[in-house]
């Protein structure tokens, strides 16, 4: 897991954890042109363009109402269910899962205002993140966050089949504001939300989400 830090507002159109990948592809492209290998060089021009596009980091308009909880990720809602037990929260909860494919923006944002109570990292496998068992078996990083009124919820980054590096830039005790950038998962993945039972879900399975702007539902 990477603990790269980057600012709450984007200073660049790409996410800071992606700069090393962009630099490497630009370097290879320049070397290929320098040695006169035009065909592979132009292939690397395309690769460089894709890497820059993949690590794009657009600013978003964050809903400012007090109760809305926003999506931590761009992607598609694949799970909405009630659980009798949850490894991150005490008692039953509501689970909402968002699957990110390689074409989505991969910067993750804080869903709600709160203080990070725990950061729980678990190394694991790299099976397809769209499978529900990925929540248990894959590499993952969970933030347990407590809101101002004492309610706890969890947001869990889960690495996928292609994704091999979870980036988390917050620590225990840090305060997060709704919409703050806090991490990303490189090259495809999944985000799970574990929410209190009285959470009012406002999305449906199959619905597409945007990190920082789509309202997942409302806290009581």
Summarised one tens digit per residue, pLDDT across range 138-148 is 688 999 999 99
Q: What whole-number distance in Å separates Cα of residue 60 and Cα of residue 116? A: 22
The reply to whether 189 belongs to the active site is yes
Please report the pLDDT score of residue 35 as a whole number.
87
Work out the number of other CB atoms within 10 angstroms of the CB of residue 134: 25
Please report the pLDDT score of residue 164 as a whole number.
55
Sorted by where each begins, the domain ranges of the chain are 1-59, 68-218
Helices 19-34 and 38-54: angle between axes, nearest 10 degrees: 170
With cut-offs at 50, 70 and 90, classify the pLDDT of residue 34.
Answer: confident
16 secondary structure, DSSP code = G
Q: Specify the higher pLDDT residue, 133 or 42.
A: 42
Question: 166 with 119: CB under 8 angstroms?
Answer: no
> Which candidate, 109, 96, 99, places its Cα nearest to that of 75?
99
Please report the pLDDT score of residue 157 as a whole number.
92
Catalytic pick from 71, 97, 135, 189?
A: 189
Q: Specify the higher pLDDT residue, 220 or 123.
A: 220
Length of the chain: 220
Q: For the domain covering 68-218, report its CATH number.
A: 2.70.70.10
Average pLDDT over residues 38-51: 90
Q: What whole-number distance in Å separates Cα of residue 77 and Cα of residue 83? A: 17
Average pLDDT over residues 77-101: 92
Q: For residue 37, is pLDDT > 60?
A: yes
Percent of the chain with pLDDT over 70: 85
Q: For residue 191, is pLDDT > 60?
A: yes
Please report the pLDDT score of residue 87 as a whole number.
86
With cut-offs at 50, 70 and 90, classify the pLDDT of residue 136.
Answer: low
Q: What whole-number distance in Å separates Cα of residue 161 and Cα of residue 128? A: 5
Please report the pLDDT score of residue 7 as a whole number.
54
Q: What whole-number distance in Å separates Cα of residue 10 and Cα of residue 198? A: 34
Q: For residue 129, is pLDDT > 50?
A: no
Please report the pLDDT score of residue 133 as a whole number.
47
Q: For residue 3, is pLDDT > 70?
A: no
Please report the pLDDT score of residue 42 as a whole number.
93
Average pLDDT over residues 97-126: 87
Tokens coding 159: 């690495």
Q: For residue 51, is pLDDT > 80?
A: yes
Q: For residue 90, is pLDDT > 60?
A: yes
């Amino acid at each position: 897991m990477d603990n790269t830090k980057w600012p709450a507002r984007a200073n660049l159109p790409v996410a800071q954890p992606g700069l090393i990948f962009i630099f490497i592809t630009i370097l290879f492209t320049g070397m290929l042109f320098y040695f006169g290998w035009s065909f592979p060089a132009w292939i690397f021009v395309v690769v460089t363009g894709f890497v820059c596009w993949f690590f794009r980091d657009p600013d978003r308009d964050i809903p400012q109402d007090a109760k809305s909880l926003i999506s931590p990720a761009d992607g598609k809602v694949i799970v909405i269910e009630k659980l009798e037990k949850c490894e991150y929260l005490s008692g039953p909860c509501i689970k909402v899962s968002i699957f990110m494919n390689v074409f989505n923006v991969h910067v993750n944002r804080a869903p709600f205002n709160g203080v990070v109570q725990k950061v729980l990292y678990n190394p694991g496998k790299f099976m397809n993140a769209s499978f529900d068992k990925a929540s248990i078996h894959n590499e993952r990083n969970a933030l347990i966050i407590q809101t101002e009124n004492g309610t706890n919820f969890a947001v869990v980054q889960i690495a996928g089949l292609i994704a091999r590096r979870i980036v988390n830039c917050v620590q225990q005790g840090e305060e997060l504001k709704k919409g703050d950038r806090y991490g990303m998962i490189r090259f495809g993945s999944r985000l799970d939300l574990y929410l209190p039972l009285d959470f009012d879900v406002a999305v449906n399975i199959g619905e597409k989400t945007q990190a920082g702007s789509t309202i997942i539902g409302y806290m009581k």
